[in-house]
Structure 1
């Protein structure tokens, strides 16, 4: 079992799962749909390709640790259409947030392939919306541990002091149902399936830099 770690940080992020019409919300942490979409862009998978192409990505077990929760930001937009009255839209973002995303698989070679693609992406990468490009580095490495162990034991990304973190990870049963598993990225007929999510609050351990020597 191996886990690919991603560092998702940017001035703005937006992870919508139920946004419709003029109000575009964001979740508190990256969605599986949003992250799988970013991986598909890195690998060169297009929206109108065979829907089965992203299936190896959606099969990855997904988890997130909120390193820095960020602040909710609401933006005002005017959308203009030809020969139509402009629409007022409300878009929500996470400002100055940092997340550690974990993707678990038994196929370490596949995780390495994803890591290489993220470092040399076919299409531009963004964190939920095209206006949210990520800061570097994105790839944080591959660990030979379980997803839960990595989320609980990986040293903090933002500082070296002990802290309290919120983690959310995919479970086979007994969690909260979330509809953010992409089944089709087609702009004409997007579809999302369900997964079960579990949340925990953990206390991080103080990082000893000499332990790496």
Structure 2
């Protein structure tokens, strides 16, 4: 068992799962579909390629730890069409930091993904093309399971006043159903499957020696 750890942080992120044309929403954390889309871009997989190329990626077990939840913001955009203009609402997360864990029995697959993310074929972005990630993205591949990594990996953001952090991870039973497994990224036949996820709150030890200037 091995796990690939990623750091997803940027001034802005957006992870939509059920957006309409005039309302583009975002989830509170990266979606499996969004992260796999980013990995597919790094590997050079195109939208209209054979969907079977996504299978090794969709079978990865997926988890997220919200080290910094970020602030939910809303923006307005004018979309001009033929003789009409629509006002659209777009939601995104500002100043968020996430630890993403991808688990597999195939360590070489995870190492290949890590290498591709460091030298991507296509540009990487966090949910929308105007939101590039800050570096580093890849934190490494470790010989442990996803849940252990989410609970023990050092925090990516320090906050002396935080009492807990939220984790969200894929389960086979006893979770909430979400439709964010990408079966096809084709613009004509885009399709997503279902998975189950569970959320927990992890208690954070107090840090009396916190240095406020360490974040600068």
Above 0.5 in TM-score? Answer: yes
The runs of at least 4 consecutive aligned structure 1 residues that moved more than 3 Å come to: 160-163, 204-207
Corresponding residue of 2:72: 72
Q: CA deviation at 1:176?
A: 0.4
Please tell me the root mean square deviation across aligned C-alpha atoms, in Å. 1.4
Question: What residue number does 1:34 align with?
Answer: 34
- Map Cα deviations across residues 98-117 of structure 1 (whole Å, 9 max, x no partner): 00000000111110000000
| SS of residue matched to 1:64 | strand
Q: Counterparts of 1:36 and 1:163 in 2: how far apart (Å)?
A: 31
The match for 1:90 is 89
When the two structures are aligned, how many residues end up with a matched partner?
Answer: 206
Tell whether the 8 Å contact from 1:156 to 1:204 is kept in structure 2 after alignment.
no
Q: Scaled by the length of structure 2, what TM-score is found?
A: 0.92
Describe the SS at the equivalent of 1:92.
strand
Instruction: Confirm whether residue 196 of structure 1 aligns to residue 215 of structure 2.
Output: no
Partner residue, 1:129: 128
Q: Give the structure 2 partner of residue 57 of structure 1.
A: 57
The Cα shift of 1:70 comes to 0.3
Give the SS at the match of 2:76.
Answer: strand
Match of 2:138 in 1: 139
TM-score scaled by length of structure 1: 0.93
User: Who is 1:24 aligned against?
Assistant: 24
Report the Cα distance in structure 2 between the residues aligned to 1:204 and 1:145, rounded to whole angstroms.
21
CA separation in 1, counterparts of 2:53 and 2:20? Answer: 26
Describe the shift of the 1:205–1:107 C-alpha distance in structure 2 as closer, same or farther (beyond 3 A): farther
In 2, distance between residues paired with 1:66 and 1:7? 10
What is the Cα deviation at residue 205 of structure 1? 4.8
The separation in 2 between residues aligned to 1:61 and 1:87, in whole angstroms, is 39
Alpha-carbon deviation of 1:159? 2.3
